Structure 1
Amino acid sequence: MNAWGLSEGGTRAQGLEALTDRQRAVLRCLARGLADHEIARVLAISQRQVGVVVSEILGALSLRDRMAAVVYAHETGVIRLPLPR
């Protein structure tokens, strides 16, 4: 693992295959900077369920925290934000 808690090498993108559609949707929302209550509203699930899904994502991808999940999402192309000008 590197300093961000991410796996080295090509295994990062392969980890996405282990995620369910709901987990990928939550990961995309996290990467966009949404808070749990916002994710719950966007995905029409409870805030408690968002927390459960985030924990599942962290476990499935062997990440240590939400920030590592955000970095992971950006590095693996789950989400691409425009670069600031």
Structure 2
Amino acid sequence: MTAWGLSTEGGTRARDLAVLSDQQRVVLRCLARGLADHEIARVLALSQRQVASVVADILRALGLRDRMAAVVFAHETGMIRLPVPNGLAG
């Protein structure tokens, strides 16, 4: 189990990353950092429609139900590392 406590498949999550294209990984990282579609579009020089399409492709490729699940996935696979809040490190 990870710090998020949501993994059920152990190490298979990291292997799932292999099914994503480079563009999908970049979009997933942006999504996991909390960027909205219009912000991702601006950063990556894409249209909002393209971003929405890539997000849908990510969800389908990973078998995830929604954007929140994609964010959790990104964190659990180590794509994104958040700092530990003060008082919890130990």
Structure 2, unmatched stretches of 5+, are 1-5
Which residue identity is paired with 2:75? Answer: H
The answer as to 2:35 corresponding to 1:39 is no
Does the 8 Å contact 2:7/2:76 carry over to 1?
no
Task: Please list every run of at least 4 consecutive aligned residues from structure 1 whose deviation after the TM superposition is greater than 4 angstroms.
Answer: none
Q: CA separation in 2, counterparts of 1:79 and 1:24?
A: 11
Q: Summarize the alignment of residues 18-57 of structure 1 with structure 2, pairs less than 5 Å apart.
A: 18-57=19-58
Which one has a bigger Cα radius of gyration?
A: 2
C-alpha spacing 1:82/1:52, structure 2 compared with 1 (3 Å): same
State the partner residue of 1:12.
13
C-alpha deviation, 1:9, in angstroms = 2.5
Pairwise CA distance, 1:6:
6.0
CA distance in structure 2 between the partners assigned to 1:74 and 1:84 by the alignment: 15
Contact 2:37 / 2:51 at 8 angstroms: preserved in 1? yes
Contact 1:6 1:68 in 2 (8 A): no
The unaligned stretches of length 5 or more in structure 1 are none
| 1:39 partner SS | helix
**Could you tell me the TM-score, scaled by structure 1's length?**
0.89
Give the AA of the match of 2:52.
Answer: G
Q: How many residues align?
A: 82
Percentage of pairs with the same residue = 74
1:62 maps to 63
Is residue 31–residue 79 contact of structure 1 (8 Å, CA) maintained in 2? yes
The two structures, once aligned, show a CA RMSD in angstroms of 1.7
Q: TM-score of the superposition, structure 2-length normalised?
A: 0.84
The code of the aligned residue for 1:75 comes to E
